């Protein structure tokens, strides 16, 4: 928000952008695919004008589909990934497609021990992280996180979105009990949203800088959260002061992505199973719907069982045992602990076997059986 814009004008502008973006999301599939091609070509042309190159940052099925799509339309640029963070079946597809592997900036274990657990959501974890690391500089923001009352930068708004939802205030707001005269709890573990920064973003940014290149990303606003906000605000192609990126699939819905994967015969990693169609025409993957690092807990509180850690237990019991019980060391007691402590605290069941049976694919577990992720 610019300094000379009132909060009412800012809200109106955001609402307008949201409506325009929603209209793009509702365009026919064929139109969105053609539009993605146009945006991708525009991005490459603009980079050429700037004397820069382009590359694809690859992870799971969304960005694998983007890579195949770009090659299909004649944009054959390098592809990179911190592949060691991905499932073994995703790594296999990366190798088959010639994706260059980039080393992570830190190990997963280092991230959890030094910075904390990625839990709830990126936005909320960032706020809890700030509460856990108070300073005079962030005092006003901490006050807003607890009360919703903003300072000058927030136009002195009351009940702002800066305030943590009450459920999470009750569990994580205790760091400000003395300052704010409240009586909230605080956990015996750290929380952070810095995992992606150190594991993926910084290594990929370093590669991009060394190669004078900017990335294509397989992001879709339909994923929600901070991704949606950024894509609605900046669109498919963004040339900012510090960030340059293209997200040609920004207006895609999940159905668009899966249909394009079928149309282009994209290699689907085993962890996703197969892309199939329900009687009503809806496409879905028979295995995992989404994938991420085995130590990521963002959104875990909203998942039905068998949730991601249940599925990890079936695929790789040894890795599950490591992450749940002994990936971290308590700095005060020296006790080993893991995600089990975190999930217990936020009320997510994990130690018992879920009542819902695993699918046959989940029980087969791909190629990872019996091995602990080497990136620990």
Task: Encode pLDDT of 297-321 as tens digits.
Answer: 999 999 998 898 998 898 889 999 9
Range of the domain at 46: 7-108+194-285
Domain boundary among 130, 158, 180: 180
Q: Does the pLDDT at position 14 exceed 70?
A: yes
Both 203 and 263 in one domain: the answer is: yes
Domain boundary among 247, 264, 285: 285
Both 250 and 139 in one domain: the answer is: no
Region 213-223: what's the mean pLDDT?
A: 94
Both 16 and 44 in one domain: the answer is: yes
Residue 236 CB neighbours (<10 A):
22
Q: Are strands 297-298 and 275-277 parallel, antiparallel or unpaired?
A: unpaired
Count of structural domains, the chain: 3
Taking the C-alpha atoms of residue 185 and residue 113, their distance in angstroms, rounded to an integer, is 21
Both 85 and 208 in one domain: the answer is: yes
φ/ψ (deg, to 5) at 177: -55, -45
Residue 203 counted as domain residue: yes
Question: Residues 15-53: pLDDT tens digits?
Answer: 888 888 888 899 999 999 999 999 999 999 999 999 999
Both 11 and 95 in one domain: the answer is: yes
- What does the mean pLDDT of the chain come to? 89
Q: Does the pLDDT at position 177 exceed 50?
A: yes
Residue 374 counted as domain residue: no
Residue 209 counted as domain residue: yes
Look at the alpha carbons of 239, 241, 247, 251 in this order and tell me if their dihedral is positive or negative: negative
Contact call for residues 13 and 21 (beta carbons, < 8 A): no
Residue 232 counted as domain residue: yes
Q: Does the pLDDT at position 65 exceed 70?
A: yes
CATH number at residue 224: 3.40.50.620
pTM: 0.79
Taking the C-alpha atoms of residue 286 and residue 288, their distance in angstroms, rounded to an integer, is 7
Both 102 and 11 in one domain: the answer is: yes
Residue 200 CB neighbours (<10 A):
19
Residue 163 counted as domain residue: yes
Question: Residues 359-369: pLDDT tens digits?
Answer: 444 444 444 44
Residue 212 counted as domain residue: yes
| DSSP for 202-253, written as a single string | HHHHHHHHHTTEEEE----GGG-HHHHHHHHHH-SEEE-SS-EEE-TTTT--
């Amino acid at each position: 928000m610019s300094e000379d814009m009132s909060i009412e004008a800012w809200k109106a502008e955001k609402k307008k952008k949201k409506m325009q973006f929603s209209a793009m999301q509702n365009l026919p599939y064929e139109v969105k695919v053609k539009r993605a091609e146009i945006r991708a070509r525009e991005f490459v042309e603009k980079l050429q004008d700037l004397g820069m190159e382009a590359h694809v940052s690859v992870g799971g099925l969304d960005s694998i589909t983007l890579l195949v799509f770009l090659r299909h339309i004649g944009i054959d640029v390098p592809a990179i990934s911190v592949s060691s963070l991905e499932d073994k079946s995703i790594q296999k597809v990366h190798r088959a497609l010639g994706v260059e592997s980039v080393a992570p900036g830190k190990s997963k274990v280092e991230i959890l021990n030094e910075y904390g657990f990625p839990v709830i959501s990126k936005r909320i974890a960032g706020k809890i992280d700030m509460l856990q690391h108070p300073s005079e500089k962030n005092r006003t923001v901490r006050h807003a996180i607890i009360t919703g009352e903003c300072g000058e930068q927030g136009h002195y708004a009351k009940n702002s979105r800066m305030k943590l939802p009450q459920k999470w205030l009750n569990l994580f707001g205790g760091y400000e009990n003395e300052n704010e005269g409240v009586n909230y709890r605080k956990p015996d573990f750290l929380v952070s949203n810095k995992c992606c920064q150190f594991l993926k973003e910084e290594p990929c940014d370093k590669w991009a800088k060394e190669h004078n290149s900017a990335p294509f990303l397989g992001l879709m606003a339909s994923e929600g959260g901070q991704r949606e906000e950024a894509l609605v605000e900046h669109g498919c192609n963004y040339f900012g002061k510090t960030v340059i990126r293209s997200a040609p699939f920004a207006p895609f819905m999940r159905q668009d992505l899966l249909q394009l994967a079928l149309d282009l015969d994209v290699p689907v990693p085993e962890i996703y199973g197969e892309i199939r169609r329900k009687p009503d025409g809806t496409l879905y993957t028979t295995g995992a719907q989404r994938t991420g690092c085995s130590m990521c807990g963002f959104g875990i509180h909203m998942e039905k069982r068998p949730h991601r850690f249940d599925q990890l237990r079936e695929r790789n019991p040894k890795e599950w045992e490591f992450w749940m019980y002994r990936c971290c060391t308590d700095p005060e007691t020296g006790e080993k602990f893991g995600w089990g402590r975190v999930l217990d605290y936020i009320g997510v069941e994990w130690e018992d076997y879920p009542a819902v049976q695993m699918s046959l694919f989940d029980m087969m577990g791909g190629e990872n059986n019996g091995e602990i992720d080497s990136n620990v």
